[in-house]
Chains A and B, each alone.
Chain A
Amino acid sequence: MIEILSSTLRLATPLIFAAMGGFLCERSGIATICLEGVLLTSAWAGATVTYYTNPYLGVLAAIIVGAMTMALHALLTVKAKADQIISGVAVNLFAAGITPILTKLLFGSSTNTESIPLHARLYSPVLTLLAFLLPFLIHFVTYRTGWGLRLLACGDGPEALKTSGVSPAKVRYWALSIAGAIIGFGGVYLSTAHASQFTRDMTAGRGFIALTALIFGKWRPLPAFIACLFFGFTDALQIQLQSSPLLGNTFPVQALQIFPYLITLLVLVGFIGSAKPPLAIGKVE
């Protein structure tokens, strides 16, 4: 039982970072299906830089690369006025393509980077603790400060924000870059704390689970946080069952893998409460 709980915490950590990043993006009015891609590039950068230098620079690199990847999304959607979903697809593809190419270039294998010895890795509870504080911080900033007011206005009425003398484009650049940095923590956690190296497609849909958690939490930070814990738990349970000698291969773990998506679908279509996205999402100015 304890094992499942601690495993839940570990598995929820990257989800929380990604979901909180996603919260900032979507609340600023930009649809963000590229959480997956941002996690992937920052995981790669974190593992690579940690391998060559130290975990602190590794974290820094992950933050920077995460922010840059998100900035690409911001540039495409805000500046080039590209469709937000299409831009998200492009960023995901770009991340999925460029990381194995760079891995091959640096490490000679396209599937994984060199493994980082335990002593040179990040002490993971620090990141987990950070992940558990983050939703409260984001909640506070969003609903109690001037910055938060602007963020909310940007997502629900960018025109109004603009006539109030604040550029929605600027708010979105900031929101997305900060979001990218936050997701960067999730990425570096995956590749240096949760695992000991970057492997191809190691995010394995976690970006989408985080997005799902955000929707499940009805685009609010604290409920999304709870959803991340919940989905982390189902993941932990699934792993536990998979390795359990009692059940062996007979239990279809797919049933648990489907669970987060299925329950979110039910929430989304209004069978359990109702979830409404920020009003300006998906709209090209």
Chain B
Amino acid sequence: MESLNPEVFSFKNITKTFASVLANHEVSFSVAEGTIHGVVGENGAGKSTIMKILYGMFEPDSGTIHFQGKPRSIPDPQTAISLGIGMVHQHFMLVPTLTVWENIILGKEPSKWLLDKASILKQLKSLKTKFGFQVDLEAKIESLSVGHQQQVEILKLLYRKANILILDEPTAVLSPQEVESLFEKLKLLKKAHKTIVIITHKLKEILSFTDSVTVMRQGKAIETLPTSSLTEDSLAEKIIGRKRIPLNFEKSGFEPEPVLKVASLSLSEAHNSILRHISFEINRGEIVGIAGIEGNGQHELIEVLAGVEKNYSGTVILNQENIKELSAYDLKQKGFSLIPPDRHLEGVILPFSLAENAILGHHRDPQIKSGPFLSSTKITQLASQLIQSFDIRPGEPSQSIAGLSGGNQQKLVVARETAREVSFLLAAHPTRGIDIGAIDFIHQYFLKLKAQGTAMLLISSELEEILKLSDRILVLYRGEIVAQVLKNEATEKDLGLWMTGGSKK
């Protein structure tokens, strides 16, 4: 289709399964040389898998890769590197204790023996200036910002003379400015005839920066087409595979009765101030959203509100009670509920059964005890209720929760956290990485809770989610609340500006 540029590689009917889960099914598409090519799709659509196959990290079950017109097997990353293919992973693959230059040459050192530091630095410096990178070659990785670490990753590929650069969700952790500067560099690279493949689920970036797009859905490559032929709506529709049912959002008002009062909350860690004078209130039946790029103090705010971080100044009052004296467990018994940011890390305990997971956070409750012992009948009963009311499948209480899909695991978390009277729900990234069905279910459920009078703080990296649910939006930037708007006053553009430290004109 891109008649000007020759094809550099293509997939022909690639199929890959992981332990009976179909990750890629008969995937075929091609990428033209010297273009920026987007691979889009929802989480779990198989985007990363197919590119990792190209990079030699996975071997396909069937199908072939054609490289510069010829079929080619790529059994390991080393082969990929020798073909000029490089990949920047979603989680950066750098050694934190080593310096930038050491990380760049790692695995492709000029000599296995004595390293001539001066000549290496000279070579890297010229590479750096050629593509406009600004990063201190002698700094240790652990001291660098995320944006700079990403530069190191890209430099590493260029040092290896990569001609095809695969970037897996490169903008997930970047501020809009950093995104801007990243794509400027990518354009320079494109000019130097490098091919760039970007795996993402962000429509805007695709539309404004790529030349062509492959849409993936449920492990299949649905379509590959030039970006110019797409609009945001048409692309979204292709990704989801159906039109989304708009959320039944009746803006029911809330009662001006504060449930949570945060006053002048500050927190410092190792002389860095992480949270600065944060003050806000949440009323009964109100949903307050916190917009912000990850790493601007969200994590610490969650820790303070959840009662696990106590070294803060200022006050947090929940239902007229100062939470400083309450342990995380007591807090949960007083009407506080938490949907933690990372399901596997904080939400569920994978080797435990559904029933055991259902009592987490309320495991000292006398209601599930008989005498000094936990009563397994009562626990099973409780779990069955949650399973039924949230339609969790498969719903056997004694089964390990590891066997459930992400969406069903998250449903159990939501069910557990809202099984009791909830006066304040802190929902952090409640729909991250789960299927659309479960997302809609959880969103509807939140509105139901709101109608029942639950006050809610929604922390999410998806602006869309925040805009959809919140009555009021606070913007968190570098540990400070830099803006506060009501739902109907907020535009995505303003929020984006505030999130990155800009001020509204």
Contacts and interface: CB of A to CB of B under 8 A. Distances in A.
A–B: direct contact at CB < 8 Å: yes
Nearest to B106: A164
Interface stretch (B109-117, B176-184, B385-393): B109-117
Contacts of B115: 144-146, 149
Given A145-B115, A152-B95, A152-B98, A163 B87 contact: yes
Interface string B67-106: 0000000001110010000010100011111100011011
B256 interface: no
A191 B96 CA distance: 42
A161 B95 contact: yes
Interface residues of A, number: 19
B113 A146 contact: yes
B371 interface: no
23 contacts: A146-B111, A146-B112, A146-B113, A146-B115, A149-B98, A149-B106, A149-B109, A150-B106, A152-B97, A153-B95, A153-B102, A157-B94, A157-B96, A157-B97, A160-B93, A160-B94, A160-B95, A160-B106, A161-B106, A163-B93, A164-B156, A166-B106, A279-B96
A147 interface: yes
B103 A160 contact: yes
Nearest to A160: B93
B372 interface: no
Given A149-B102, A160-B106, 20 more contacts: A145-B115, A146-B112, A147-B112, A149-B98, A152-B98, A156-B95, A156-B96, A157-B98, A160-B93, A161-B95, A161-B106, A161-B107, A162-B77, A163-B77, A163-B87, A164-B107, A164-B156, A165-B77, A165-B81, A279-B96
B420 interface: no
A279 B113 CA distance: 24
Interface of B: prevailing SS:
loop
B108 interface: yes
Contacts of A147: 112-113
A262 B336 CA distance: 46
A159 interface: yes
A156 B99 CA distance: 12
B107 A166 contact: yes
Contacts of A149: 98, 102, 105-106, 109, 115
Q: What are the 6 tightest A-B residue pairs by CB atom distance, in nearest-first order?
A: A164-B107, A157-B95, A146-B109, A146-B112, A163-B93, A160-B93
B97 A165 contact: no
Q: Which of A152, A157, A159, A279 has the most CB of B within 10 A?
A: A157
Contacts of B113: 145-147
A153 B101 CA distance: 13
Contacts of A279: 96-97
Contacts of B77: 162-163, 165
B164 to A, nearest CB: 15
A160 to B, nearest CB: 4
Interface in A152-181: 152-153, 156-157, 159-166
A278 to B, nearest CB: 8
A165 B93 CA distance: 12
Nearest to A143: B115
Nearest to A145: B113
Given A160-B103, A160-B106, A145 B112 contact: yes
